[in-house]
Amino acid sequence: MADIGLIGLGVMGSSLALNMAEKGYTVAVFNRTLSKVDAFVADAGSLADRLVPTRDLATLVAAVDPPRPVVLMVQAGAAVDEQAEALFPFLASGDMLIDAGNANFRDTRRRAESFSERGIDFVGIGVSGGEEGARHGPSIMAGGNEASWRRIGPILSAIAAKFEGEPCAARVGPDGAGHFVKTMHNGIESADMQMCAETYGIMRDGLELSAAEMAAVFEKWDRGRLKSYLIEISADVLAAVDPDSGKPMVEVILDRAGQKGTGRWAAIEAQEMAVPATVIEAAVAARVQSSAKEARIADEARFGKAARRLAPADRDAFLDRLESALLAGKIAAYAQGFAAMEAASERWDWQTPLGTVAKIWRAGCIIRSAFLDDIAHAYGAGVGGANLMTVAPFDAHLKETHEALRSIVSDAVLAGIPVPALSAALAYFEMARTARSTADLIQGQRDFFGAHGFERTDRPGDGFHGPW
């Protein structure tokens, strides 16, 4: 009998199945296009003995040892509902359906409630690490009940990445918690990538560095406090040469970024919970604006190209400031993402262990970094409810780096170099440390045109009105 079933042999599904087989589990596999099943098993080499090819859903379910876990690796949205409903007639009480795609957590909550009423556990898990991670060790964020985790936890822990021997897989709460945490992971990822791109833009357009020179800068940063997967691959991308043209690879890549929606979901859900996620929002907006390539070309001709040239007296000192600015921006982005997860956990009563989330992000996932070890330790020390910017060691980092962030953003703005995410990070920090904001005028305006009332500074209560 198979230990687990898997439906959907695309890139991620195939990689996960092979990962499970390599770790000693027998996997029953099915794909709607049956030729993919045959080709997959034929190409599996020595792992083929741990794969059970099936030709229909009934055979797939029958091949799995009960209580049966069946992983769905199909396109998010209606396809998940269709596949789950098609499977249901063959499942028994106590079996579980596991959606391992990038689902909207609200859909996962709906599915979990619906299938629970029918005796089936619906589990939503976030999987980060791309094709390479899925094959050799991703970070896994599981939702679902504790009984389901006891059944599938050993399998997921076995296939997950390891950080100092500890599996980067954990149950982070019931129903949609796993997919929400993955959504916020992708939101932070979008912000982190955008800020990397903005520092690249400052070096490329402001300092006129070559791709090789910029690769060396990112490589240096990866040996220091910014050490992370995204910094590492930024160096690799910038160092790569196009075999066809001989040019730096980055120079022949069209500057039009795509997205799969999870970054946008992160910004939307943070807004819905009244949690500022301005760095994530800026990153999402920048990707959207990047897609308007033709309009950007026309607008540059219409308004003129910005000067963009920077001429620091000491280039090495400027690059050190740029490194500090990126660190400050990352702190703001992570603070916003973790604040959103904490708010969601409270709203939905998930009891999401944020320290554990940071731990399982330390390897396997796209935002893995040394930075996350500090976050894990901070939550382990009991800082729940506090903004990450205000706890050690991040408060000390910000005291050291916020002036660098301010000067870099100022230099970029004056030169006409767009830095939307770094600017948003700076504004978030400045607002956070402003004891008296300008919202008093806003409250006065609201009362003037809508009689909304306000609180006063000199007496308790609310519902006061001005003499307009």
Active site residues: 182, 189
Compute CA 369 distance to the chain's CA centroid, rounded to the nearest angstrom.
Answer: 13
Q: Are strands 121-128 and 169-171 parallel, antiparallel or unpaired?
A: unpaired
Bridge partners (DSSP) of residue 53 are 29
Residues 417, 133: Cα–Cα separation, whole Å: 35
Q: At what angle do helices 394-415 and 315-348 cross, to 10 degrees?
A: 120
The CA distances from residue 374 to 126, 337, 391, 445, in Å, are 22, 15, 10, 43
Q: At what angle do helices 146-159 and 11-22 cross, to 10 degrees?
A: 80
Greatest CA separation found in the chain?
Answer: 82
Q: Looking at residue 65, what DSSP letter applies?
A: P
Residues 153, 439: Cα–Cα separation, whole Å: 48
Residues 417, 325: Cα–Cα separation, whole Å: 15
The one-letter code for the residue type at 11 is V
